[in-house]
Amino acid sequence: MEARLYALQRLSAVVMAPLVVVHLITIMVAVRGGLTAEEILARTQGVTIWSVFYAVFVLAVAIHAPLGLRKILREWARLPQPAADGIAVISGLLFLLLGGGAVLAVGMA
């Protein structure tokens, strides 16, 4: 199990690396003319490529971040393993729900 989680965290990091670069560059380019919800939606709403991009991103984050959080809770907050596992699962579902919801809302509009 631990070995599989380790592999999942590394694989999700590999997926995220190029996505994070594109995400950051997009932010830097996008904010040059100010940052408004209208402007962001005008660029992303109903654009399939961004929906796919962020759907993959959200999935990778929902796997990667909770696994990191699980270790931090164990090592720094000294939580027992079951508690760290539980919080990690809940946070993963939360990322999936919030991120997935946003992707659907923007993509399907």
Partner 1 sequence: MTSMSSQTLTVEVWRGADDGHFETFDVARRDHQTVLDVVTEIQRQQDPSLSYRFACRVGVCGSCAMMVNGRARWTCRTHISSLDADTITIEPLANMPKIKDLAADMTGFIDKWGDAGAGFTSARTRHDSPAPVDTLSRARKRADAAIECINCGVCHASCDVVKWNDDYLGPAALNRAWSLVNDERHTEKTETLAAALGPGGCSNCHSQGNCMTACPIGLSPTRSIAGLKKMSLLAMVGITP
Q: Which residues, other chains included, contact 69 with Cβ-Cβ below 8 Å and sequence gap of 6+?
A: 87, 88, 91
User: Which one of residues 14, 81, 90, 97 is an interface residue with partner 1 (CB under 8 A)?
Assistant: 81
Alpha helices for 48-80 (secondary structure H): 48-75
Stretch of residues binding partner 1 (CB under 8 A), selected from 5-13, 37-45, 49-57, 89-97: 5-13
CA distance 39 to 1: 44
Q: Does 82 bind partner 1 (CB under 8 A)?
A: no
- Report DSSP state, residue 97: H
Q: Which is nearer to partner 1, 15 or 40 (CB)?
A: 15
Q: Residues 35, 71, 89, 90: which binds partner 1 (CB under 8 A)?
A: 71
- Pick one of 19, 74, 100, 107: the residue that binds partner 1 (CB under 8 A): 74
Task: Tell which residue, 89, 61, 85, has the closest CA to residue 71.
Answer: 85
Least gap, CB of 84 to partner 1 (angstroms): 10
Nearest to residue 70, comparing CAs of 1, 3, 17, 5? Answer: 5
Which residues of this chain interact with partner 1, rule CB under 8 A? 1-7, 10, 71, 74-76, 78, 81
